[in-house]
Amino acid sequence: MSDIRIPVESKRPTRLINLLRPYLSLSWNPLFSALSFCAIILVFIRMGTSLPGWSEILISENGPVERMSAAMWFMGFVWCLAAACVQRMKAVEWLSVAMFLLLFGLRELDAHRWATEWNLDKLANYWNPRFPLSERLLVLGLMVLPCMVVGVMLVLRFWKAMGHAWRVGESWLSHLVLGVALLVLCLTLDKIGPYGLPLLGVGESGQIFLMGVEEFLEFVLAVFTMAVLWPYLQEALNGCE
């Protein structure tokens, strides 16, 4: 009997950690994992920092959520660069993804404001004579054009794989669709929110709430991207999934 009891007792800590295993690995849908992970992190920040309220945590410029979103994009950029160095056969794909992650990171840090002192998002600014022509051409040549070229190249490269993934029902295609949907939702809240909400009669507190939701979803998007890329990064960096 004692021979049976000893292994049961020694397995107790293992059982506990095995209970946490689905939460710490990718067995959940990455979107739900990312959502719950971000929510837990927010609670940690609320409890562990001296910031007075949720608005300082969520919507404050250079606040914790903004900083974490940017850090996730830059982390992804660096890891994808490393994957491109190690997995030479897929270097083009890794470098293209890295470039997008870098652009997302720069956008999160408002690089368009401190680098050019004008908003790159506003199309009208590109033919506004108030801004130097050389600067506008530099932005078009170094950011917009490479982004478009890489985007087209990625679509062409993935087109064949997409058809196969659709037929077989591979998970990465649904992750891609979810990611794009989340990105569109964030952009909609970011761009249409400030103009559309007052027209709908939403008060200031409602607008602040939606700004907080938008920042939180941006953080979720960054974490979701990392979660989706993770098995591929693992495969590239240490040869195992």
Partner 1 sequence: MWILQSWVVWIFVVAMGVVWGLPHLPHYHRDLPYIYDLGGTIFVMWYMGLGFLSLGLYGLVTSFVHLGTFWRVRIFFLGWGSLLLAAILWWLQDVFMNLSIRLG
- Contacting residue, 99, 106, 120, 182, with partner 1 by CB under 8 A: 106
- Contacting residue, 35, 41, 95, 178, with partner 1 by CB under 8 A: 41
Span 1-30, contacts to partner 1 by CB under 8 A:
17, 21, 23-26
Helix ranges restricted to H, the chain: 2-10, 12-24, 30-48, 54-58, 64-86, 91-108, 111-116, 133-139, 145-168, 171-191, 193-199, 204-238
Are 207 and 198 in contact, with CB atoms under 8 Å apart? yes
Q: Does 95 bind partner 1 (CB under 8 A)?
A: no
Handedness of CA 109, 115, 117, 121 (dihedral sign): negative
Cβ-based nearer residue to partner 1, 17 or 168: 17
Give 10-77 as a DSSP string. HTHHHHHHHHHHHHHSS-S-HHHHHHHHHHHHHHHHHHHS---SHHHHHTSTT-HHHHHHHHHHHHHH
- Contacting residue, 79, 100, 104, 232, with partner 1 by CB under 8 A: 79
Structure tokens at 65: 């959520």
- Contacting residue, 46, 55, 56, 67, with partner 1 by CB under 8 A: 67
Name the one range near partner 1 by CB under 8 A: 7-15, 118-126, 152-160, 229-237.
229-237
Name the one range near partner 1 by CB under 8 A: 66-74, 143-151, 153-161, 176-184.
66-74
Structure tokens at 119: 């908003």
Q: Which residues bind partner 1 (CB under 8 A)?
A: 17, 21, 23-26, 33, 37, 41, 45, 48-49, 62, 64, 67-68, 70-72, 74-79, 82, 85-86, 105-106, 109-111, 113-115, 223, 226-227, 230, 234, 237-240
